[in-house]
């Protein structure tokens, strides 16, 4: 049986907030962030028959408290979907939402689903990564992994160790440019259309979150050079070249192309292939390299065919290890043209769909680009990649 064409219909997200007591979501429940994102998605797609949704998958890394209890089911009910719509929760750490989207896409491609919702949420202020986790002692005692592999910052330092050409200066410059590109995208109005405002409450009263909280557009190389290296004395990873701890939620709608056409739904991207891969947990940032190679091979494509890359900036050195491997310049305009997680923030399981949202919006503006990639590293030594085709592609050569 031929695989059915799968399309990314739409995606939205909450503004991302800084985690912690001073962050804008300190008084907001994790599941309410997901509910708001899902409601925003449904409101933006009034042609979607709610009872036709086959499944809702919502990822979270730390599934406890207000971020537990099978989020896909509880959030779907809270957002107003019929009780006949099922849901589930999933954990693949940073690639949670990417995994729900890829698995939903596979189910649609196989003809088992027509419409599905995939997203993620992470309230790192309430649920820090690893909170209450109890790793099996054999994981470390039998030297299956280094104890350091459970600290993502140290794994980033190890990338600097392994690849001396990935200097702190290169990482700092990448981080600075990410901040500048995000602000430029905001100034152009490229980011705001896909943000769902969220009501917030604090000791000062009610407020409304409408923009990402962690942006630092005035960042300079001089300021970055003075930052501390928290993971190692005289290290190279700092708060300026790494993503901050973040709260936020993302949500997307995928469909069979035939179902989308039947219902009059848009097709912002076409799913081409996806792949996940494992690497040594001690250098988890290398994960997107083999996952991208696998996804390219499955699609019958080469890295030179990719016109846009949305790479999650968990750490600048992690992105640079990817671009170096594929012979891509640090400042190649195809890579994160609107900036990335160093400025937006990285609410772990939610981030994969943020990459898709931005790529879909860029595809609308770039009919000269046929293929794009969303890729990310994943804690404990994994990588995830999805390749998408631009339905607006007009066959013309790339703009200069």
328: left (phi over 0), alpha (psi -120 to 50) or beta: beta
Contact between 59 and 342 (Cβ < 8 Å): no
Q: Which of 113, 122, 108 is nearest to 86 (CA)?
A: 113
Q: What is the DSSP track for 215-232?
A: --TT--HHHHHTS--TTS
Q: Which of 12, 23, 14, 15 is nearest to 245 (CA)?
A: 23
CA distance 102 to 294: 14
Which of 94, 123, 127, 160 is the catalytic position? 94
- With DSSP H G I counted as helix, E B as strand and the rest as coil, what are the percentages for the chain, rounded to 5? 40, 20, 40
Active-site residue flag, 160:
no
Active-site residue flag, 325:
no
On the CB side of 247, CA atoms within 13 Å amount to 29
Active-site residue flag, 127:
no
Tokens of 16: 């991302």
CA distance 292 to 279: 13
Dihedral over alpha carbons 133, 139, 144, 145 (to 10 degrees): 30
Element at 201 (helix H, strand E):
strand 198-202
Which of 123, 127, 160, 377 is the catalytic position? 377
Tokens of 237: 């990873």
Q: Which of 114, 110, 111, 121 is nearest to 57 (CA)?
A: 121
Contact between 244 and 214 (Cβ < 8 Å): yes
Element at 154 (helix H, strand E):
helix 152-162
- 3-state SS, residue 371: strand
Active-site amino acid positions? 94, 346, 377
């Amino acid at each position: 049986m031929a695989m059915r064409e799968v399309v990314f219909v739409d995606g939205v997200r909450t503004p991302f907030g800084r985690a912690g007591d001073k962050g804008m979501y300190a008084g907001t429940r994790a599941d309410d962030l997901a509910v708001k994102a899902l409601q925003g998605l449904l409101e933006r797609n009034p042609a979607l028959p709610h009872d036709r949704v086959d499944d809702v998958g919502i990822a979270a890394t730390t599934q406890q408290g207000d971020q537990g209890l099978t989020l896909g089911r509880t959030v779907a009910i809270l957002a107003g979907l019929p009780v006949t719509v099922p849901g589930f929760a999933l954990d693949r750490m940073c690639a949670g939402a990417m995994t729900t989207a890829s698995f939903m896409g596979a189910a649609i491609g196989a003809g088992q689903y027509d419409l599905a919702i995939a997203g993620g949420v992470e309230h790192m202020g309430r649920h820090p990564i690893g909170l209450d986790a109890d790793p099996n002692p054999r994981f470390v005692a039998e030297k299956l992994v280094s104890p350091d592999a459970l600290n993502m910052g140290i794994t980033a330092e190890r990338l600097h160790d392994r690849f001396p050409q990935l200097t702190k200066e290169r990482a700092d410059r990448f981080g600075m440019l990410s901040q500048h590109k995000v602000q430029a995208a905001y100034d152009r109005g490229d980011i705001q259309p896909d943000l769902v405002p969220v009501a917030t409450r604090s000791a000062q009263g009610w407020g409304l979150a409408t923009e990402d909280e962690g942006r630092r557009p005035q960042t300079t190389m001089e300021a970055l050079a003075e930052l501390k290296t928290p993971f190692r004395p005289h290290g190279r990873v700092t708060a300026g070249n790494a993503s901050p701890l973040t709260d936020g939620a993302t949500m997307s709608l995928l469909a069979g192309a035939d179902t989308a056409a039947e219902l009059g739904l848009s097709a912002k991207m076409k799913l081409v292939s996806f792949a996940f891969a494992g690497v040594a947990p001690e250098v988890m940032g290398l994960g997107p390299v083999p996952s991208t190679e696998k996804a390219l091979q499955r699609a019958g494509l080469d890295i030179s065919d990719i016109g846009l890359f949305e790479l999650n900036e968990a750490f600048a050195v992690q992105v640079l290890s990817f671009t170096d491997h594929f012979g891509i310049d640090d400042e190649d305009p195809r890579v994160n043209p609107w900036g990335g997680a160093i400025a937006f923030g990285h609410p772990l399981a939610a981030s994969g769909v943020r990459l898709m949202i931005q790529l879909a919006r860029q595809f609308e503006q770039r009919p000269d680009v046929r293929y794009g990639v969303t890729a990310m590293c994943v804690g404990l030594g994994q990588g995830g990649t999805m390749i998408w085709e631009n339905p607006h592609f007009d066959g013309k050569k790339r703009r200069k």
